[in-house]
Structure 1
Amino acid sequence: MKKIVQGLGAALLVLVAYLLLWPIPIQPVSLPVPAQPGYVGVHAVNTKLANLQMIDLQGEVGPEHIAFGPDGKLYTTVVSGNILRMNADGSGQEVFANTGGRVLGFDFDAQGNLIAADSFKGLLAIAPDRKVTVLTDAVNGDPIRYADGVVVAPDGKMYLSDASMRFAPKDWGGTFESSVLDILEQAATGRIIEYDPATKVTRVVAKGLSFANGVALSQDGKHLFVNETGRYRVWKMDVSAKDLDVKQPNPQATVFLDNLPGYPDNLMRGLDGKIWLGFAKPRNPVADKLMDKPFLREVTMRLPRALWPVPKSYGHVVAFTEDGKIVADLQDPTGAYPETTAITETKDRLYVHSLHAHGLGWLAK
C-alpha cells in the first residue's frame, strides 16, 4: 500500500509539474472583456440561416471567401489551397489556380487580376491567364506573416490585414491553429497594410489589433471597416492613417461595433449600401472568463484539446450600414453549416462563406 501511495504521489507531482512548467508557444496577456450581450435585441435567436441549399464542391472543403469576378464567374478559396471557379449555380467547376499556399480573402483589381491574401506567401496577383505574382510579402523588411483579408480601392491601392505578427500559419500548423494561438495569447500584433501598385510601396496603416481579419471600404473610399476577431469588435479607420497604434486613442480609428456576440471574421460589401459580417464562432463564457487570467490560459494550453473551452458551432451572419445600424441578422443555432464567416450577396442569392463546410451554402432572396 505504501508503494502505491508513493507511486500516486509521484504521478501527481509529475502532473502538477507538467501543468505548471511544460513549455507552451503563447505568452498570455491579461484582457478584461465586457459581459457577453447574448442573443437578444437585434441579435435575438432565429433560424433564418437554417436549411441552406448546397452546391457540391466535389470533395473540396471550406469555401472561406466567395466573390464574383469580372468574367461573371463565382470564385471561392478552399482548404486544399485551390481557388475554384464556377458558374453562379455551381456548374462548370474548375480549379482556377493554386498558389502553393493558402489563399483566404481576395478581391479583383481594375485589370481583372485576382488580388489574393495568401496566408503563407503574402499579397499576390493572379492574372486572368493564371500567372501568379508576389506583390508584397514584407513591410520595411518585416515579413507579412498571416495575410488574411484584402480589398482593392477604386484608386488601385490595396488594403490587407496581417492577422498576427506572432503566429504564421506556415509555421504553426495552418490558419485555424495559428488563429487559436493568437487569440489565446492576446498580444494584439495584428495590423492593416496598404500596398500601392503604382509606387510598389508597402506601409502600415494601423497596428495593435487582436487578430486583424475582414476588411471592407466605405462607399466614399476614405475609411476602412476592420474586424478585430480577438476582441469581438469592428473598427472604422482612415485609409490615410500611418502606423497608427489602435491601443492608443486616436480620432483616425474608432470602435464602430463593440462587444459583439461572436468572433467576427470576414466583411463583404453587399447591395444597397450594406456590409455583411460573419461570425466564425459564438463567444464562450468560460473562454471570456479566462481572458483576464493569463496563468489559467497557460494551464489550459497544457490540457488535451478536448478539454479546451472551444465555442460550439452556431451559424450567424449580420448586415450593417455605415451609420452602424444592424439591418439583417440570420442565424442557425444548430450550427449545421460550420463557421459562417460572411455573405456574398447577389440580387437573387446569399452565398454563405465557411471555414470548414463540405459544400457551398446559399439562400434564395
Structure 2
Amino acid sequence: MRPTILRNIAASVGLLILIAVGYVCFWPVPVEPVSWQAFVPPGYVGPHAANTRLSNINLIEIGDEFGPEHIAIGKDGRLYAAMTSGDILSMDLDGTDQTIFANTGGRVLGFDFDASGRMIAADAMKGLLAIDPDGKVTVLADRVSADDPISYANSVVVTLNGMVYFTQSSTRFDPRKWGGTLDAGILDIIEQSATGRVLAYDPATGNTEVVARGFSFANGLALGSDQQNLFVNETGRYRIWRVDASARNIDVQASSSQARVLLDNVPGYPDNLLRGFDGRIWVGLFRPRNPAADSLSEWPFLRKILLRLPRSLLPTGKPYGHVFAINEDGDVLDDLQDPSGLYPETTGATETADRLFIHSLHARRIGWVPY
C-alpha cells in the first residue's frame, strides 16, 4: 500500500478519534452535575439480609394498563391504582370488578383521600389535583407563586384537619419536557442539584407554601402517627428524612432542628412510603444501588460524560424486587425481597388485613403476597 494512502487512512482515523473524544467530552447535555459524597453501599446484610420472600408473587391482571406506581385503599374499601396511561383503576381487593375511576391526562404518582372521600392526587404533569367520587378532576395547585411552577408532583398525604402535604421531586427537570418521569428522574439524580421540595397546600386558603427544600429527588411521603411529622424519601441520596410538618422553607442541606435523617445509606433507591398496620411504614426500593454510580459522586465531569453514552450504559442498577417496613424511629421491622426482579421496579407496598400489594413503575400486572 502506498505511503500516501496509509497517511490518508491514518489521518481519517485520527480525525474520527478527535470527533469521538470531542463528542464524549464536550457535547452539550442538560445537566450541570454537583459533587457529593456517597457512602459505600451496605449490601444485603443485617435487617436487609438477602431473602426470597417476594419471589412467589401473585398477580392481578389489569388488561392493557401498566405501571401501578401507587396503590391505596379508598374510603369505600376499594383498591385504587394509578397507571402510566393517566387512568386510575378502581377494583375490589381481590382484583375483580375493575373500572376506570378517572383519567387525569397526566401521570399520577401518589394519592391520598380527604375526610370527604375525595382523592387528592400528585400528578407529575399537572400538579396537585382533587378527584371527586364521580371522577371529576380539579387542579388544586400547579404553582407556589406566579413565577414558581409545580412540576413533578410525586407523593401526597392528607392530615385529619385537611392540610395537604406533597413532594415535588425536582424543580429542574419537568417530565413533560424531558421524556417522562423516569427520564426526568434520571437526569435529576445524575445532576444532584438537590432541588426537590416538600410543599403544603391549605384547602382553607388555597395557598401553597414550601415546607422544606434541598432534597435530591424528593419522593415518597408518609404522615407521622401524631400528625406533626412527615417522613420523606430522598431517592437520590438513599435516605429517609423526618421533617416537622410545621416547618416552613427550611433547607435540609443546612443544619435545622426541624429536619433530621431518620435512615441513611439504604441498599437501593427509596421510592414510595405508605403507612401499614401496627406502626409500620412501608418503603419500596426501585432498584438496588450501583457501586459504579456511587463511585462517580465526587466526579461531576464524568457524570456528564455518562449522558453522552447510550442509555443502556447508565449505571442504574439491576432489577431486584425489594420492599421493607420501618417504624417511626427508623428501625427495620420487616423485609421482603426477590433477587430475580421478575416483578419489576418495586416502588412501594400497601398493607391490608391479609395481603401486601406491591407497587411498580412499569409492571403489567398488580402484584401481591399473603401477609
TM tier, smaller: over 0.9
State yes or no: 1:99 paired with 2:104.
yes
Could you tell me how far 1:361 is from its partner in structure 2?
0.4
Counterpart residue type for residue 13 of structure 1? L
Find the aligned partners of 1:300 and 1:242 in 2 and give their Cα distance: 36
State yes or no: 1:228 paired with 2:244.
no
Q: Which residue of 2 aligns with 1:353?
A: 359
Residue deviations 1:245-275 (CA, integer Å, cap 9, x gap): 0010111000000011000000000001100
Find the aligned partners of 2:51 and 2:95 in 1 and give their Cα distance: 28
Counterpart residue type for residue 71 of structure 2? I
Find the aligned partners of 1:259 and 1:101 in 2 and give their Cα distance: 32
Q: Which residue of 1 aligns with 2:23?
A: 18
State yes or no: 1:175 paired with 2:181.
yes
Equivalences for 1:62-141 in 2 at 5 Å? 62-141=67-146
SS in 2 for 1:288: helix
Instruction: Tell me which of 142, 162, 174 is aligned to 2:168.
Output: 162
Find the aligned partners of 2:316 and 2:220 in 1 and give their Cα distance: 22
Find the aligned partners of 1:51 and 1:324 in 2 and give their Cα distance: 28
Instruction: Tell me which of 192, 203, 206 is aligned to 1:186.
Output: 192
Find the aligned partners of 1:305 and 1:231 in 2 and give their Cα distance: 21
Equivalences for 1:288-303 in 2 at 5 Å? 288-303=294-309
- Whether the 8 Å contact between 2:287 and 2:316 is mirrored in structure 1 is no
- Whether the 8 Å contact between 2:51 and 2:338 is mirrored in structure 1 is yes
Counterpart residue type for residue 112 of structure 1? G
* Identity, % of aligned positions: 57
Counterpart residue type for residue 193 of structure 1? L
Q: Which residue of 2 aligns with 1:250?
A: 256
Over the aligned positions, Cα root-mean-square deviation in angstroms equals 0.7
Counterpart residue type for residue 151 of structure 1? V
Instruction: Tell me which of 9, 12, 24 is aligned to 1:4.
Output: 9
Could you tell me how far 1:310 is from its partner in structure 2?
2.3
Find the aligned partners of 2:33 and 2:335 in 1 and give their Cα distance: 33
SS in 2 for 1:5: helix
Find the aligned partners of 1:267 and 1:134 in 2 and give their Cα distance: 24
Normalised by the size of structure 2, how large is the TM-score? 0.97
Could you tell me how far 1:202 is from its partner in structure 2?
0.7
Counterpart residue type for residue 105 of structure 1? G
SS in 1 for 2:233: strand
Q: Where in structure 1 are there 5+ consecutive unaligned residues?
A: none
Residue deviations 1:80-104 (CA, integer Å, cap 9, x gap): 1110111111111111111111111
- Whether the 8 Å contact between 2:92 and 2:98 is mirrored in structure 1 is yes
Counterpart residue type for residue 297 of structure 2? M
SS in 2 for 1:39: coil
Find the aligned partners of 1:20 and 1:263 in 2 and give their Cα distance: 28
Counterpart residue type for residue 19 of structure 2? V
Find the aligned partners of 1:307 and 1:127 in 2 and give their Cα distance: 44
Find the aligned partners of 1:302 and 1:323 in 2 and give their Cα distance: 42
Counterpart residue type for residue 311 of structure 1? G
Find the aligned partners of 1:230 and 1:145 in 2 and give their Cα distance: 17
Instruction: Tell me which of 27, 32, 41 is aligned to 2:46.
Output: 41
Q: Which residue of 1 aligns with 2:215?
A: 209
SS in 1 for 2:9: helix
Equivalences for 1:290-329 in 2 at 5 Å? 290-329=296-335
Equivalences for 1:268-279 in 2 at 5 Å? 268-279=274-285
SS in 1 for 2:198: strand
Find the aligned partners of 2:66 and 2:145 in 1 and give their Cα distance: 36
- Whether the 8 Å contact between 2:289 and 2:316 is mirrored in structure 1 is no
Equivalences for 1:51-66 in 2 at 5 Å? 51-66=56-71
For these two proteins, the number of residue pairs brought into alignment is 365
Find the aligned partners of 1:364 and 1:256 in 2 and give their Cα distance: 29
Q: Where in structure 2 are there 5+ consecutive unaligned residues?
A: 1-5
Residue deviations 1:232-255 (CA, integer Å, cap 9, x gap): 000001000010000101110000
SS in 2 for 1:72: coil
Where do 4+ consecutive residues of structure 1 move more than 2 Å?
Answer: none
- Whether the 8 Å contact between 2:243 and 2:259 is mirrored in structure 1 is yes
Relative to structure 2, which stretch is displaced further, 291-300 or 304-313? Answer: 304-313
Find the aligned partners of 1:304 and 1:83 in 2 and give their Cα distance: 33
Find the aligned partners of 2:134 and 2:314 in 1 and give their Cα distance: 45
